[in-house]
Amino acid sequence: MRIKEVKLENIRSHANSNVPFAEGFNCLVGGVGCGKSSVLLAIDFALFGDPLGRSYDYLLREGEDFGKLSVIFVHGGKTYTIHRGLQRREKGISQDMEQLKLFKEDKLIASAKGEAVSEQLMAITGIDKDIFREVVWIRQEHLKTLLDMTPRERQKKFDQLFGLSDYEVAWSSLATFQRDYGIEKGTLEKDPDMVGIEKLQADYNNAVEEFSLMEDEIQDLKTNILKAEATLKEATSRLQNLEALRRQTEELQRKKAKIQADLVNMEDTCARLSEEIEQEKSSISDLEARLKSLEGQEKSYRHGLQEKAGLQSDQTIEEIRKHLEALEYQATNIWGEQEATKKEMQNSQDRLSTLTTESKCPLCLQNLPNTYKRNLLQRLQEENAEREKRLIELQRDLDELERLKSIINPTLSGLQSLTPRIEDFRNQHSKEHTSLNKLRKEFAEKQRYEKLLRNQLDLTRKEIAKFDIRELETAKTLRDTSFDQYSSLKNRLESMAIRKKDVTLRVDNIRERLDHAQQKIERMKKIEKILEIIEGIRGVYRSIQPKLRSEFVTYLQRSVQQILDGLVGVEGSLLLVNIDETYTPSIRSEEGYERTVTNLSGGERTLLAFAYRIGLGQLIMQSRTGHGLYMLLLDEPTESLGREDGSIDRLAEAISRLKAIEQIIAVTHNEAFAQKAEHVIRFEKEAGVSKVSVER
């Protein structure tokens, strides 16, 4: 697992910061309170969500209502991102579960529920909160915690981390099982069923024999019942058939009465329809005669139009009306022309009278020469003569028009009165014909139905004649006799079944007691075997725990010595580490003097604590996850170290040489320590806000 980047928003002194990390030795350097340790606290919160204390007050920036952070890390070649948030509410600060999301690459794999995210992280990285806080993250002032424990506390804690305490728990738990199984064995040995199992077996054999005899008797009864049931079914079936035939006969009687009633009604209906058909025929004949008379009048009118007025006989009334209107229009025009001509003649006559008595022009009143006067008089007389001829022609035309009008007008009136009457008679004639056809069709259907009713009546009478009431009475007697025999056998079977049930219960009860007794015998054998096994396992647990602890101590001592040698360097004093069965370390000098942890100098204690932590972390990770320590978080690891003796430089140099650990993130305010790091991230504080910059 390697962290790539941490993003912080409103987390402690960080308003909005992005902190990138690389593979190898990363060092976060800066003054006190600049926000370095906040990054490690944020990583812990992002991965596990649980506060270090009772609340999240230590994380949320003062005066802010919300905070967010993200951690991007790489594991197994895949990139993961986890987001978490904080929210200030009335009762305090709590985690904002809506912000909780875990992504694999760009795919969301868990959200909203802390348990789901923790399970996914455990499956991905193999570490949980306890391993992270005890092994991966060495917090400030916690470096020497393990050295300061009492031997008993240290042994108990390490046995738990290595899983050795499980053997002690198992040994104690097995003692409880051993006691419980011993009590159960004593109880079984006094069980009455186990003591009296032979008597139970004899009672069981007697009950089984009685049950077998009852089974044979019941089987005979069942055979007889089957025969009686077959006889009863046959008698019942015949009775049911005859009952059904009786009901059918009664239904046929009702059907016969109904058919007879329907037949009478149908005969009456046919007679009524025949009479209505004759009436309809007579009505149609009368209509045809009256229609023929009206059509003759219409033909006479049209013939008169053709003979007297010269019009076509097939013209419509509308065409005749238009022709009459045209004649009236011509007459009006001729009359107007007559009036105009008469007026012109009167004017010419007045001018002639004036010219005869005077020699002045009647229009301009100028004197006229005699020659011009004579010519004018002659011309006016000739014009009047022409007008007289025109008046005669116009009067002749007007008389002709009046004659035609006198012929067409009454003819038009006659046709107008005849046409709707003829149309009405034709429609009535069509309706009467339709009604007649309908009556004929209905009459034919009724006749067919009457014939059908007569056939049905004959068939019904034949069916009624098939039923014999004496057969029904005989079938009833046979059915009652069969039922009595069947009921008697069934009652005997039910009584026998009750007795059989009692015997069965007794057999089952005895068999159950026998089974329980046998199970108790087998159980006691198993308990004896289990007690033997438990005794052996407890002995093994007692012997294996010290052996495994010795192996862990040997490996731990070797790892711590290798790391401590690297920290001390060739120039430092040789410190030989010895670790006893309580995981308590001590130092032996080259001269052979052994010193406990309390007798070491501050620098020696810091170096030993660091080597002890690293070695312990490697061993715990290997035993719990199957791989070594791949990430290490250090918060101010230079405690009690000084620049003068080179211990800080040696520690930084040793950390940079820990290539087995994929990524180391150290927080320090010591510039000398930071110089040895491969990647340096500097923290400063301006106006109460942390600023992050990458130096290398």
Q: Residue 274: its pLDDT value, please?
A: 86
How does the average pLDDT of the chain come out, rounded?
83
Residue 43 has pLDDT above 80, yes or no: yes
**8 A C-beta contact, residue 87 and residue 9:** no
Q: Residue 170: its pLDDT value, please?
A: 63
**8 A C-beta contact, residue 168 and residue 159:** yes
Contacts with 249 (C-beta within 8 Å, 6 or more apart), sequence order: 463, 464, 466, 467
Strand 2-11 to 66-75 pairing? antiparallel
CA distance linking residue 665 with residue 27, whole number of Å: 6
Give percent of the chain with pLDDT exceeding 90: 16
CA distance linking residue 672 with residue 668, whole number of Å: 10
Q: What are the tens digits of pLDDT across the range 432-489? A: 888 888 988 988 888 888 888 888 888 888 877 777 778 778 888 888 888 888 888 8
Q: Residue 363: its pLDDT value, please?
A: 59
Chain CA centroid to CA 403, Å: 96
**8 A C-beta contact, residue 43 and residue 70:** no
Q: Residue 565: its pLDDT value, please?
A: 79
Q: What are the tens digits of pLDDT across the range 124-181? A: 888 888 888 888 888 876 767 777 888 888 888 777 777 666 666 666 666 777 777 7
The answer to whether the Cα torsion of 436, 437, 443, 447 is positive or negative is: positive
Instruction: Look up the CATH number of domain 2-141+600-694.
Output: 3.40.50.300
Q: Residue 36 — pLDDT band, cuts 50, 70, 90?
A: very high
**What average pLDDT does the segment 563-573 reach?**
68
How many Cα atoms within 13 Å fall on the side-chain side of residue 197?
Answer: 14
* Token output for 366: 């100028």
Choose the most confident range, by mean pLDDT, from 111-120, 513-522, 601-610, 653-662: 111-120
Nearest to 613 by CA among 133, 11, 169: 133
Q: Residue 104: its pLDDT value, please?
A: 94
Q: Residue 428: its pLDDT value, please?
A: 86
Alpha carbon distance, N-terminus to C-terminus of the chain: 22
Q: Residue 564: its pLDDT value, please?
A: 78
How many Cα atoms within 13 Å fall on the side-chain side of residue 236?
Answer: 10
CA distance linking residue 304 with residue 404, whole number of Å: 11
CA distance linking residue 125 with residue 128, whole number of Å: 8
Nearest to 177 by CA among 539, 529, 532, 531: 531
DSSP string, 496-528: HHHHHHHHHHHHHHHHHHHHHHHHHHHHHHHHH
Q: What are the tens digits of pLDDT across the range 674-696? A: 988 999 999 999 999 999 999 87
* Token output for 101: 């999301």
**What average pLDDT does the segment 590-614 reach?**
79
Q: What are the tens digits of pLDDT across the range 100-140? A: 999 999 999 999 888 889 899 988 888 888 888 888 888 87
Tell me how long the chain is. 696
**What average pLDDT does the segment 542-567 reach?**
77
Q: Residue 571: its pLDDT value, please?
A: 58
- How many helices (H) and strands (E) are present in the chain, helices listed first? 14, 16
Q: Residue 247: its pLDDT value, please?
A: 82
Chain CA centroid to CA 314, Å: 80
* Token output for 97: 């579960």
CA distance linking residue 565 with residue 607, whole number of Å: 10
CA distance linking residue 462 with residue 453, whole number of Å: 14
Nearest to 695 by CA among 158, 594, 684, 686: 684
Contacts with 668 (C-beta within 8 Å, 6 or more apart), sequence order: 27, 28, 29, 36, 636, 637, 638, 674
* Token output for 466: 């098939």
CA distance linking residue 487 with residue 492, whole number of Å: 9
Which residue carries 């499956």 as its tokens? 123
Residue 539 has pLDDT above 60, yes or no: yes
**8 A C-beta contact, residue 608 and residue 557:** no
Backbone angles phi, psi at 73, to 5 degrees: -140, 160
The one-letter code for the residue type at 557 is Q
Q: Residue 34 — pLDDT band, cuts 50, 70, 90?
A: very high
Q: What are the tens digits of pLDDT across the range 390-424? A: 888 888 888 877 877 877 788 778 778 888 887 88
Nearest to 680 by CA among 179, 20, 17, 26: 26
Contacts with 320 (C-beta within 8 Å, 6 or more apart), sequence order: 305, 311, 408, 411, 412, 415
Backbone angles phi, psi at 80, to 5 degrees: -120, 145
Extended beta strands in 636-678, E state? 663-668
* Token output for 576: 């030989």
Q: Residue 158: its pLDDT value, please?
A: 77
Residue 572 has pLDDT above 60, yes or no: no
Which residue(s) pair with 367 in the sheet?
A: 360
Residue 38 has pLDDT above 90, yes or no: yes
Backbone angles phi, psi at 113, to 5 degrees: -120, 125
305-444 folds as: Helix Hairpins (1.10.287)
Burial (CB count within 10 angstroms: exposed 0-12, middle 13-18, buried 19+), residue 189: exposed
Residue 376 has pLDDT above 90, yes or no: no
**8 A C-beta contact, residue 220 and residue 464:** no
Q: Residue 165: its pLDDT value, please?
A: 64
Q: What are the tens digits of pLDDT across the range 191-221? A: 777 777 778 788 878 888 888 888 888 888 8
Residue 68 has pLDDT above 60, yes or no: yes
Nearest to 587 by CA among 609, 619, 555: 609
**What average pLDDT does the segment 597-612 reach?**
79
**8 A C-beta contact, residue 348 and residue 380:** yes
Residue 310 has pLDDT above 60, yes or no: yes
Domain chopping of the chain, boundaries = 2-141+600-694, 305-444
